[in-house]
Amino acid sequence: MTATDARLLLRGLAQLATPSGDGAPLRGAALGEVEVLEDAFVLCADDTIEAVGRMRDLPALDGDVRELDCRGLCAVPGLVDCHTHAAFGGDRVDEFSLRAGGASYEELHAAGGGILSTVRATRAAGETGMRTAVELHCSWMLREGTTTFEAKSGYGLDRDTELASLRAIREAGGIPTWLGAHAVPPEFADADGYLDFALAEVLPEAAKLAEAADVFLERGAFDAAQARRYLEACRDAGLGLRLHGDQFTESGAIPLAVELEARSVDHLEATGEEGTRLLAASGVVGVLLPASALFLDRPMPPARALVDAGAAVALATDFNPGSAFCESLPLVCSLAATQLHLSPAEALAACTVNAAHVLRRADRIGRLAPGYRADVALLEAPDWRYLAYHLGGHVVARLVVGGELR
Ligand code: NIG
Ligand code: FE
């Protein structure tokens, strides 16, 4: 099939909205600059966007072109979820009910529940169960407009299950991150002993499958010295670096992330003024996870202060069975507007171009412009800002993924 045979025209869009410019990450005023075209089209050739524009400027097209009438729909870039934990077995619905009755997430974790209960279920699922689970979770994300997703391991914490998780993520089309330092599994007496094992036995293989490594730097998980040891070894093995930091306490995640030039530090619910200043002056992206703060009834991260200080921020779901059983980036955009006080334009950039930057793909995804991958979310809405405005609504009507209509 030639490129001309495989053209797809999205015509008559009520609006097309895309983060402006061509750089990444966006920060400051640029984060809120969205280009909006009324009565617009998107022309895709194979898996790439050939042209976007207003209908009145649509040139005559030769050859076979498949057309989709997009009246009543708005186009935004396919959404990019740069932080999920989609590789897990079982669920935590019992724990959720206990939390509804007043038990805290940290108490459940300290009592051997929480992450460790998902570790038991994930180990029991086996490689086939893991593949089935990741595919299911991936289909849920797609339904909500996510055309690119990152997913972490971290619920195996033994060699075979960690590697099976990374393989399952890759096979489902996800971008795998090795979260080898998520919790200390029960067969190890302490974090240092577990890290001796993980770095010697798992890292060499994980580095062949994953693009980045992640660590949970928190009271009750890994401290700053342990996180440094883990991240330096992962960096030396060629992996990009990410951190779960400042979720419950400020334990040194931002200074470490800045020093090691990590790709991102994620959560930040407990970040104070000094951390905000330090992050803003760095190249590290702050990944905000408001669905997790909501699900755990925790304070929201200081998003407005971060953006106003000039930090590069991204938004993600944190989809996982314990702290954020939520795969919807449109819902996250709503929370960004109502809880984080970001504008719909800032929210859009944060879960497209800036999320793509965290995944080192901002030259190819996250914008609707010629040369970018033909990933388009078509919103059932007269105005693209319904992405954030329609709280919990089913706003994504159709998707184009790599030039194919879904
Ligand atoms: O990002 N905080 C650490 N890890 C996950 C939650 C993991 C879980 O509760 O299963 C998070 O919130
Ligand atoms: Fe997470």
The pLDDT tens digits of the residues spanning 387-397 come to 999 999 999 99
Could you tell me if the CB of 113 is within 6 A of ligand 1? no
Report the phi/psi class of residue 218: left, alpha or beta, with left for phi > 0 and alpha for psi in -120 to 50.
beta
Which one of 81, 82, 85 would you pick to mutate in the ligand 1 pocket, going by the greatest count of ligand atoms within 8 A of its CB?
85
The whole-angstrom separation of Cα 233 and Cα 212 is 12
Count Cβ atoms below 10 Å from residue 261 Cβ, excluding itself. Answer: 12
The whole-angstrom separation of Cα 92 and Cα 391 is 25
pLDDT exceeds cutoff 90 at 303: yes
Q: What single letter denotes the amino acid at residue 228?
A: R
**Ligand 1 atom at minimum distance from 321 CA:** 10
- pLDDT reported for residue 112: 79
Determine the distance separating the centroid of ligand 2 and the alpha carbon of 293, expressed in angstroms: 11
pLDDT exceeds cutoff 90 at 113: no
pLDDT exceeds cutoff 60 at 3: no
The whole-angstrom separation of Cα 306 and Cα 28 is 9
The pLDDT tens digits of the residues spanning 10-69 come to 999 999 999 999 999 999 999 999 999 999 999 999 999 999 999 999 999 999 999 999
- pLDDT reported for residue 110: 82
Torsion angles phi and psi, residue 328, rounded to 5: -100, 110
pLDDT exceeds cutoff 80 at 4: no
pLDDT exceeds cutoff 80 at 1: no
The more confidently predicted of residues 104 and 110 is 104
Determine the distance separating the centroid of ligand 1 and the alpha carbon of 146, expressed in angstroms: 20
- pLDDT reported for residue 289: 98
pLDDT exceeds cutoff 50 at 266: yes
The whole-angstrom separation of Cα 206 and Cα 295 is 30
The share of the chain scoring above pLDDT 90, in percent, equals 95
pLDDT exceeds cutoff 90 at 284: yes
- pLDDT reported for residue 111: 82
Q: How confident is the model at residue 5 (pLDDT cuts 50, 70, 90)?
A: low
Locate all alpha helices (DSSP H) within 23-145, ordered by sequence.
93-100, 105-110, 115-143
- pLDDT reported for residue 2: 46
Question: Distance of alpha carbon 170 from its chain centroid, rounded?
Answer: 15
Determine the distance separating the centroid of ligand 2 and the alpha carbon of 216, expressed in angstroms: 8
My answer on whether omega of the bond before 59 falls inside 30° of 0, hence cis, is no
Cβ proximity of 267 and 255 under 8 Å: no
Q: What is the mean pLDDT of the chain?
A: 96
Residues 203-228 have a mean pLDDT of 97
pLDDT exceeds cutoff 60 at 143: yes
**Closest listed ligand to the CA of 296:** 1
Residues 285-308 have a mean pLDDT of 98
pLDDT exceeds cutoff 90 at 372: yes
Could you tell me if the CB of 352 is within 6 A of ligand 1? no
